[in-house]
Structures are given as C-alpha cells and as structure tokens.
Chain A
C-alpha cells in the first residue's frame, strides 16, 4: 500500500468539485494554458506543472479531475482518491492539497473538502469565484472559516488572477511549517453513537494498513463502510472470506438492525456538520432574487423553446461556416496555388518536381485550405462553452439522451468527439456504469469529427447548388447541418439499440450543475479555439504531409517504360504533323492519357480496382476507393487523394476551385458519363458520416475498453452501417430517377 516513488520537489495537488475553476487556478499558478470551460468535467486526467513560490522555491503542481466525493464512483474520481491516499504507484501523495471551492456553493463544495481534511494531509481551502459570491449578496467570514476548520483559507478570482500571490505565500508558509495536529473540523460529534462503536471495529483492522497516514484512518473506515461496490483498493485481491470484508459486511448488517442506513449515513451526518459550520461563517445580505441567469434559463432550458433555440443556433453556425470562411479560404487557396507555381518554376522537371507539386503541395494544401472553417467551428463551440450555454445544451438534450438509454454524462464525451474522437473517448472516464460507458465509446466515432468537415464542405461546394431557402438560408449550409444531424441521429439510434439489447443496465442518476452565464473571456475563447485548431494544423503538418508523399509514390509507381516510350514517340510524331493551337491541344490529350494509364497501372490504382466491386453499388469509382483506403490513416486524405489522382490543374482561381472543377468534369472512360454527380456526392458524404476509418480511434477504443473484441465490433458495425446507408441513398436515388 505504501508509495515508493521518491520526490525531487515538494508537490501540491488541486482538488475540488467539477467546474470550480481548478484548471484556471492551476494555469494561474503554473503559467500553463490547459483548456478550461464553463462546464463540468473538462479535466479527466491529472495534469502537472510547476510554480515558483515567493521565497524562490520551485514546487510541482498537480491538477486532479473534479470529484464530488472521495468515495470513487467513476475512473476520474478514483484518480483523486488514489492519489490523495498515496495508492498510486506512479504518483507520490502530495505534501499539500489545495481544495478549490466555488464560493457560491459552499455547502456542496465543503462535502469533498471535509473529506480531504480527514486524510491528514495539510490543506488550504481556496474559495474561488469570490467576486460572484459577493455580487450575489453572500458574505463569507474567511477568518472564522479558517478558525473552525483549522486550515488557512484564501479567496481568489482565478480568471482575473486575483489572490494568486496571497495563495502562493500561504502555500510557502504551510510547506515550510505544515499543520501537523488534527484539523479542527470533526465529523464525530454528528455521528450516532452506535455508528462510532461499529466504526471502531473497522478502524482497528485498517490501522496497520495505513501506518504512513494515521490521520486518514477514520475517514477511510467511513468510506469502506459506504463502499457499496467494494471499489476501494483495500478490497483488491481479497477473497470473499477476508477478515476486513467480513467485518465490513457484519458492521453493515448490525447498523441495519439498529435502524441506521449505512448507505446514507455519511452524507447525512456530513451535511449536518457542514450546515452547522456554514451557519457560523456564511451570511446572505440580500434575499434570493431572480438573477439574469435564472431569467435566461427560463427560455433556454424550456422544453420547447430550449430545443428550438439549440437547433437555431446550430443552423447559424453551419451557415456561417460557409459564408464567413469563404474569403480567407480563397486567399489561402490562391497562396497555396502560387506556392505550387513557384515550386514548379524553381525545381527541374522530373520526379522531384512532381513529388513536391503534385504530392506535397496538392495533398497538404488542399487540406490546409479548410482551416478557416475549422477555426470558425471551434470559435463557436468555445464561445458557447465559456458563456455557459453549453451546459444548457446538455440540460436540454438530457431528456433525449435518457430516452435512448444514455447517461447525461455521455453528452460531454460526445460533444468532444465533434472535435476529435480520441479525447471524446477519454472523456467517457467520467461515466460510472460500465455498460453506459461502453455504449458511449462505441457511438462516439459516429459524431462528425473535424477531419470530416473538409470532406463535407468540398463535396457540398462542388455538387450542392448555392440556392436560398426561405430567402435567408443557404441550401449548402442546410446540407451541412443535415449531415451533422444525421451523425447525431445515428449515434443516438445505435446507442438506443445497444442499450436495449446487449448493453442493458441500470440508468444512473445524472446530476449536472448549471453554471451562471457570463460574458465570455476572449482570451479563453481564442485560446480554446487555437488549442483545438492546432490539432488540425499538427495533423496537416505531420501525418497528412507524410502520407501525401507516400500516396504520391503509390499513384506514380511502378513506371511502365514501354508505355512511356510509346507516348514519347506519339508526342514526337504530332510535333511534326501539327502546329500552333492544334499541337498544344493534342499534346494536352496525350499527357492526360499518359497520366490516366499511369494511375491505372500504379500500386494505388491496383488497390482501388481491387476494392471497386465492393463500392460500385454505392456509386463510387476506384479512384474514390483509393481515397477510402487512405482515409484510414486520416480522413482528410480523401481530398488529398482526389487532388493527386485527378492531377488538378489550377488557372489562377485557387487550388480548391481547381479541384472542384476537376471533380465536376471527370468522366468515366468506359461509359462517358460523369463520375461525380450530386447523388454520388451525397452517397459519399453519408458514407463518411457513418464509417469508422481512423487508426487513432481503433487504438484508443482498444486501450479504453481493454479488448480487441470491442474494437473489431465497432469497426464492423460502423462499416456495415455506412455501406448500407450509402447503398440506400445511391440506389434509392437512382430509382427516383437521379443519376
């Protein structure tokens, strides 16, 4: 049980309820920029940084996930419990704990704080959001609170960095001279005598196991009593007949016989003690009035207006993605095109020039062009998070989530998955129930991640007319909204199916706190937006860059010297027989034929043709087949593939415009019909909404479920779903007379 890790520096840990501003205080102390949001559950793993105290000493700071109690119910709460009790092999117990409390909800926040006080680790109570408590007419006597608890109390406004120096001074003082005596807060006077007597039986048994933390024995004994699922590490590896387990069961039945409910006795007694404490330190100078947040919530969380507002706001976002991003996209597109021209002029004709121009610049450039749209999407999401609206969206959609059998806590992982599935799946650690968590992991990849957005917008721009609907809405924006709604609908439908069949389980109650609305801090909004968009740029600069090079090789090799010789001879022949425009035109045709033959006989061409029979019923040609295979590495590579295989030529109108024109004009050499039609584009978009084509997602599902089986199941069901839906769209469209 003892932790054997040696510490180089002193270490402090930040704990607190979700959404109390722990990460903001962590950022203020360390100068780091971890993402924060005005809703609970942002931190699901521990984060570390360092801060220098006023005396010059450098210490480590650990930001732990939000928790309501030290009795762990989910994986993130387990991290908090285990770190504080020194039960993690990789993390030594901290020298000092900062318990971050929301000064507006002191009673609820003190529940965890008083449990931490019982661990015996030196504690500082940090009352954050002090300004908002004052504005709401709440006065807290800090000195009295400090006197009654026996630990220092500091008021802070994390967002404004107010009180941070005082906090650092207090940390320095306490680390130099830690409080060694018991804290003045004690739960014992509020416990029934019978419980105290029974609890002593458990205390005797665990004292030896907590030799290094004698002060934590009482609290841990209480938690062992309430640990319904036996999740505590004390029970790990124990046989049913183990003395401690038997004793705990015996104490529980003894309490039950005496009319004491062991499942609720701790919360009841603790809240009585906290009420007693708060009665002496908290004073409300104004009566409860309807705040601005309350008034706004009457509309935004209304069961009808709330949903209408949510759909409306989503509609505006998707409209703006098309209209507002156009100018910067054109600018980027032209810049990349100029870069291609420069490279063409600078490099000698040959394989290297083709690699740089047709491979790297076409492959990466065509993806990077979509950056303004990604920025806009994340700007809106960050804005809603920071204003507090996102929490209302969770509330509004919770009913729907419940209907499909998902826990309300699944909303945040699913929301994160719209940026990237990987952090979304990591965020499912906040979900307590195994089947709930598994269902959320399995449907998270159905949420349209940012890698799909460039594919949607390219195909929409190419094949959906820019018509006005009801004079104000654009058909293109509505199509994009439809794709996102399809992804949400598919996710909820599949979740409902799983929960009703093989992932049945109890529905856990979901308690979610609505934070007050606030004016967004632009620094936070832009910081969050940048953090997420950076992922897109990193991908474009790393994996997409590398794979564009590999893709170029796969479409350019093996070379056929005989065919090259034949085309060369043909060129020489037409140069003798033709002149002027006729010659140029004929040379253009020969070059096109040569590139087409090269692509067909290339490694990628062979691969595309091998899978063509499977995708032909969906309306996809073998060139799309190459893109679908490449998409397993990164979905955006579909665009790079189309740009590379269709040898996009630009004429000053920008790279994306060149690709769009190439797609619109492409004809099948066998039938002479257009290869890409609005129906094919729709079928392809539906396929990309539903298909699981991401190695990173496979890896994270394997890691988080701990099973290859669930990973393969996810790949299988998503592929089957995507194929079937595209088949219905394409073949259904043809039956209705569309081409």
Chain B
C-alpha cells in the first residue's frame, strides 16, 4: 500500500465516520441535514437593529 492509497483510505474512514454521525447523531439524526429536519424546539437566534420605513 503506497502513501497515496493510505491518504485515500484515511479520507474514506473519515467520511464513513462523519456519515454515521449524520445518521446517528443527536442533533441531525436520520440523515436529514436540512433546516426542515431541525429538532422540535431548536432555537435559532439572531439580534436585529430596529429599522423602519416610517
């Protein structure tokens, strides 16, 4: 196994781990990574400045 192949297989191992995390992770479980799949009461916060037309 040459160096080139070791690097490639390391990337594969990392990708497999991250994919598993995506499916089994608590935050984005089930392989759903979009905002539509957010857990029930996940908070998305932002601070705005008061602006108005009037």
Instruction: Identify the A interface with B (CB < 8 A).
Output: 29-32, 45-54, 58, 60, 90-91, 160-166, 168, 348, 350-355, 419-420, 422-423, 426, 531, 534-535, 538-539, 542-543, 545-547, 549-550, 552-553, 633-634, 694-696, 698-700
Contacts and interface: CB of A to CB of B under 8 A. Distances in A.
Contact of B47 (A31, A90, A542, A634): A31
Given A30-B46, A30-B47, 11 more contacts: A32-B46, A49-B46, A49-B48, A90-B41, A161-B51, A162-B53, A350-B2, A351-B2, A549-B11, A549-B12, A698-B30
A63 B36 CA distance: 16
A350 B4 contact: yes
Given A164-B52, A351-B9, A355-B12, A699 B31 contact: yes
A694 B22 CA distance: 13
A47 B11 contact: no
A348 B4 CA distance: 8
B33 A30 contact: no
Contacts of A353: 4
A534 B35 CA distance: 9
B40 A165 contact: no
Interface string B11-28: 110011011001100000
Contact of B23 (A161, A164, A695): A695
Q: Which of A53, A355, A531 has the most CB of B within 10 A?
A: A355
A535 B12 CA distance: 24
A640 to B, nearest CB: 13
A354 B30 CA distance: 29
Contacts of A553: 9, 12, 16
Nearest to A27: B48
A135 B43 CA distance: 38
Interface residues of B, number: 37
A700 B45 contact: no
A735 to B, nearest CB: 39
B15 A165 contact: no
Contacts of B15: 545-547, 549-550
B44 A32 contact: yes
Given A352-B5, A634-B31, A50 B45 contact: yes
Contact of A543 (B9, B19, B40, B49): B19
Nearest to A60: B45
A63 B23 CA distance: 29
Nearest to B51: A161
B5 A696 contact: no
B31 A355 contact: no
Given A45-B41, A161-B52, A355 B36 contact: no
B27 to A, nearest CB: 13
Contacts of A420: 34, 36
25 contacts: A31-B48, A48-B44, A49-B45, A50-B45, A91-B41, A164-B52, A165-B51, A350-B4, A351-B2, A352-B8, A352-B11, A355-B11, A420-B34, A422-B32, A535-B34, A543-B19, A546-B18, A549-B12, A550-B12, A550-B15, A550-B16, A633-B31, A634-B31, A695-B23, A695-B31
Task: List 7 A-B pairs, minimum CB-CB distance, nearest first.
Answer: A699-B30, A31-B48, A696-B32, A423-B36, A165-B52, A535-B34, A549-B15
B41 A46 contact: yes
Contacts of B18: 546
A426 B32 CA distance: 13
A50 B46 CA distance: 6
B48 A351 contact: no
B8 A351 contact: yes
Nearest to A172: B50
A426 B42 CA distance: 14
A351 B46 CA distance: 45
A455 to B, nearest CB: 17
Contacts of B54: 162-163, 165-166
Contact of A695 (B5, B30, B46, B47): B30
Contacts of A531: 35
Contacts of A426: 36
Nearest to A548: B15
A633 B22 CA distance: 10
A422 B53 contact: no
Contacts of B5: 350-352
B35 A535 contact: yes
Contacts of A695: 23, 30-31
Contact of B50 (A51, A354, A423, A550): A51
B48 A29 contact: yes
A45 B4 contact: no
Contact of B48 (A52, A165, A352, A423): A52
Nearest to B36: A423
B22 A543 contact: yes
A561 B51 CA distance: 69
Nearest to B32: A696
Contacts of B9: 351, 553
A562 to B, nearest CB: 17
A217 to B, nearest CB: 28
Contacts of B31: 543, 633-634, 694-696, 699
A54 B50 CA distance: 7
A58 B47 CA distance: 8
A163 to B, nearest CB: 7
Contact of A547 (B19, B32, B44, B46): B19
B30 A48 contact: no
A45 B42 CA distance: 10
Contact of A50 (B35, B47, B52, B53): B47
B7 A52 contact: no
Contacts of B36: 419-420, 422-423, 426, 535
B41 to A, nearest CB: 6
A574 B41 CA distance: 66
Contacts of A48: 43-45
B4 to A, nearest CB: 4
B30 A552 contact: no
A47 B44 contact: yes
Contacts of B16: 546, 549-550, 553
Given A351-B9, A546-B19, A538 B48 contact: no
